[in-house]
Structure 1
Amino acid sequence: MPARSPIGRQALNLTDLSLVKKILNYLAWPVACGLLAALAILLTQPSLRQLIPTPTTAANTQTAPHSYADAVSRAAPAVVNIFTQRKVPKQRHPLIDDPLFRHFFNNANVPQQERLQSSLGSGVIMNREGYVLTNHHVINGADQIVVLLSDGREAQAKLIGTDPDTDLAVLKINLDNLHAIAIGDPANARVGDVVLAIGNPFGVGQTVTQGIISAVGRYGLGINTFENYLQTDAAINPGNSGGALVDAKGNLIGINTAILDKTGFSVGISFAVPIDMALRTLKDIAEHGHVVRGWIGVEAQRISPQLARNLGVSADLGVIVTGVYKDSPAHKAGIKAGDIITHMNGVALGDGGRGVQVIEQSRPGDTITLRIQRGLQAAEVQLTMTAQPTA
């Protein structure tokens, strides 16, 4: 059988192409009409458009910035390094006070020598008037306080006042063109929010670390009298104390205060005083030189499991009064040792932490309602808080 020539194969291909063109021409109008009809239906029926999946792009899936440089540049100029010095007596040699040694070596009048002890921390410029917030433990006992700004300027700081119960202190510096930090809202802080810690760890210079808010409203840690901490896993080390905890936009939400670790180094559990609490402290100290809080005049403690069994009550019922100050608001209201305070202003106290927060936010003259359990009897009493007597 003779082989088919190349010319025959070409003719066959041309015939096939002609057939395909005829089919496409035949289908073109029906397909176009169908697409137009579908488009018209989608435009007139918005509910049907919800059934069409939206393509996923990088623009609509990105939820966090690739960099927090803008937040840092906004907040960092307001964070300062704090250096303190205090004079401490040198330890005397034990033979100095030995009578025989003094007789032979004529050291009867050896003066007590002193040495300088230095420490470091951080602080935050709160306004253009030069008020700086830091921690009480950073400047406690200091004879000299020097503040170093991020632009290289430094100034002697004046101690305006401290509040050991919240571990906060207020300083003042006299410099021009100060950069005050923007204030955020810690009440809206959520677990999982990104935060940045800015301070001077180990004296190496201003450093920024990043983490998230791990918990809010932490109390009962035994760090301070009044506790309502923001917990974060941002690295905070010695020297960070008094520095800024800011949100992802550079707004101040807390003053870094403590870490929970026996070694003294960060392991991802750190605490900051919420800035709303710190601002109340700043305002009181600036106006009065000390913090003004309401006082009811009782000493109380948590109900231990053993005490709860002895009393036949729940351990989280409230706090038990262990003492009442004479002529205090509680004394005048008839509260006695052994009473259990279960509620304060209608809020169940539980282990007492909530009651401490109520006291921290109170002012002399505020009226407070306490629900008391005495034996099997329960009653409510109202009292007007006063200022705590000075020692």
Structure 2
Amino acid sequence: MRLKTVLLVLLGLLIGATGAVLLRDHLSGAFAQQAELLAETEPSLPEADRRLVPGSREGVLLSYAPLVQEVSPAVVNVYSARRGQRRVAQSFFDQFFGRMQRPERTEQSLGSGVIVGGDGLIVTNNHVVENAEQILVALSDRREFSAELVFSDPQLDLALLKVDTRGTPLPTVPLGDSDQVEVGDIVVAIGNPFGVGQTVTSGIISAVARTGVGISDYQFFLQTDAAINPGNSGGALIGLDGQLVGVNTAIYSRSGGSNGIGFAIPVNMVRQFLSSAAAGRVIRPWLGADTQAVTRDIARSIGLDRPAGVIVRQVTPGSPADNAGLGQGDVVIAVNEEPVLDPNSLRYLTGSRGIDTPVEMTVLRDGERRSLTARLIEPPETPPRNETIISGRTILTGVRVANLSPRLASELGGGTPERGVIVTGIARGAPASRVNFVRTGDVIERVNGQDVTSVRQLTELAADTEQEAEVTFSRRGQVATCYFQAPSFFRCQS
């Protein structure tokens, strides 16, 4: 009986083991069949397509890695240091008697830069290295170089650095064409935010003609929602073709962090800046036309169904605009088929072209569309500036003035008229510095009812203002008149 029981148990174990094996084989086959079925239905992509960013806008974005690997070696970190002084009171007696020690302190700044020349030329923002006594550039491969500032243009907020590579070429970023950039294009921002090291962010172009944001005199920027933070200044804004489309410059933020509104200097302005650097002086192409934006009322008065372009208020005789046939009252709506939105965009569309470069202007005149071609030149210094400090015993004593010309107006920045007499400085202790009178940048228009047209004329008129004077001047488009009567009466009204 016991033997029978043992045999039955062994037989059951044998049958169970065999069933388990059969069940395992059955499941394995089922899983394998299912895996084959899934493999047949899952879409497969070529390996090249998995790692490459498509060059077309219709392509499906898979990875930025190849683009970043190609471009990031040419984006550098820029560290600068300058000496400053701070006032520190040493004791109660020092405070009482006004004796203050002025220990030196080192002010540091960080930013980014873009290598544009294999021999060591690097573009960055001027505000990153302005007044710097030491500049250090760090590459993505951790090499470090001391750099020197070789050229700058504060109006553009651009600076050019040079490092000694000792013959070893550096990686560079090719310059693209910012006029071809459109709203919605995908871009990549590379820089050194907050000094944490090289960082890559992505976004799109939010606007291509953003003006009036108060960053520089040439207010025409690419706007992007790619995350840009402090330290990104001077870094690269790259298109999907791997070319530089802009230099990151500023953000719109109340907290100091990125709010998705960043601004970059268009690469076409960078190209013009590099041409100036090669010449060793700032060169700005000149058109010679004074314009204003077409408002709704102006559009209605000239028969337009909506505001468009800029209307010409004045044309300088002998200027490229004059030689092209542009006249007062003409409405410029496009330059090289790019729409003109306001005077700033006209300045950009002409200023980003080279000297002796023809530009085609689309103009509305008497309701008809015309095409005019102007060949840009350097702004002339006519008349000579004849910078002079007014002397004598007058309300204008100690005021330094100069004759305005297209070249001086270009040097002083946007919005400066090209003719008249401008205040370029005021001596310390001068009467004008003690009262609310003229300031640097004001244009003196009349003295005692007589129009001022030159420095020489102004000095002659000022000689007759020892006892009484009426001076009219303009400041950023606002006109004011000040009355002076010896010994102490002074009043201004706008």
Q: TM-score, normalised by structure 1?
A: 0.66
Alignment match, 1:167 = 157
Residue 101 (structure 1) aligns with: 97
Deviation for aligned residue 1:357: 3.1
2:224 is aligned to: 232
Task: For 2:174 and 2:237, locate their aligned partners in 1 and report how far apart those are by CA, in whole Å.
Answer: 11
Measured after TM superposition, the shift of residue 301 of structure 1 is: 3.3
Residues 108-161 of structure 1, C-alpha deviations (whole Å, 9 max, x = no match): xx6654432211100011222100011122222323222122222222211121
1:242 Cα offset (Å): 0.9
Cα distance in 2 for residues equivalent to 1:82 and 1:305:
46
Alignment-derived partner of residue 197 in structure 2: 205
1:157 lines up with 2:158 in the alignment: no
| Separation in structure 1 between the aligned mates of residue 368 and residue 67 of structure 2, nearest angstrom | 56
CA contact (8 A) 2:334 2:363 kept: no
Deviation at 1:183, TM superposition (A): 1.8
| Structure 1 vs Structure 2 CA RMSD | 4.2
Q: Are 1:316 and 1:350, in contact at CA under 8 Å, matched by a contact in 2? A: no
Residue 258 (structure 1) aligns with: 250
1:157-181 Cα offsets, whole Å, 9 max, x none, are 1112123343322111112434323
Letter in 2 for 1:200: N
Counterpart for residue 288 of structure 1: 279
Please state how far the C-alpha of 1:346 moved relative to its aligned partner. 7.5
Structure 2: distance between partners of 1:97 and 1:371: 72
Uncovered stretches (5+) of structure 1, i.e. residues with no partner = 1-54
**Aligned pairs (5 A) from 1:188-199:** 189=181, 191-199=183-191
The residue aligned with 2:110 is: 120
Correspondent of 1:84 among 80, 100, 113: 80
Whether 1:220 and 2:189 are equivalent positions in the alignment is: no
**Cα distance in 2 for residues equivalent to 1:311 and 1:190:** 30
2:66 match: secondary structure:
helix
Which region of structure 1 is more displaced relative to structure 2, 380-389 or 268-277?
Answer: 380-389
The DSSP-based 3-state class of the residue aligned with 1:205 is: coil
Q: Secondary structure at the match of 1:266?
A: coil
Equivalent residue number for residue 241 of structure 1: 233
Which position in structure 1 is the counterpart of 2:67?
71
Larger Rg: 1
**Distance in structure 2 (CA, Å) of the matches to 1:251 and 1:346:** 22
Aligned residues: 327
What CA distance in whole angstroms lies between the structure 2 residues aligned with 1:207 and 1:282?
26
Identical columns (%)? 36
Partner Cα distance (1:346, 1:68) in 2: 33
User: In structure 2, do the counterparts of structure 1 residues 69 and 369 end up closer, same or farther at CA, with 3 Å as the change threshold?
Assistant: closer
**Other structure's SS at 2:145 match:** strand
Q: 5+ residue gaps in structure 2?
A: 1-40, 51-58, 380-406, 412-494
Cα distance change, pair 208–346 in 1 and its aligned pair in 2 (3 A): closer
2:117 match: secondary structure: coil
Partners in 2 of 1:90 and 1:327 — Cα distance?
A: 53
Partner of 1:148: 138
Q: Would you say the 8 A contact 2:285–2:353 is kept in 1?
A: yes
**Does the 8 Å CA contact 1:341/1:372 hold for their aligned counterparts?**
yes
1:200-235 alpha-carbon deviations (Å, 9 max, x no partner): 101111112233x23452332434344554433221
After TM superposition, the structure 1 stretch with the greater mean CA deviation from structure 2, 319-328 or 268-277, is 319-328
Cα distance in 2 between the residues matched to 1:174 and 1:192: 39
TM-score by length of 2: 0.54
Q: Aligned partners of 2:87 and 2:317: how far apart in 1?
A: 44
Which shifted more, 327-336 or 363-372? 327-336
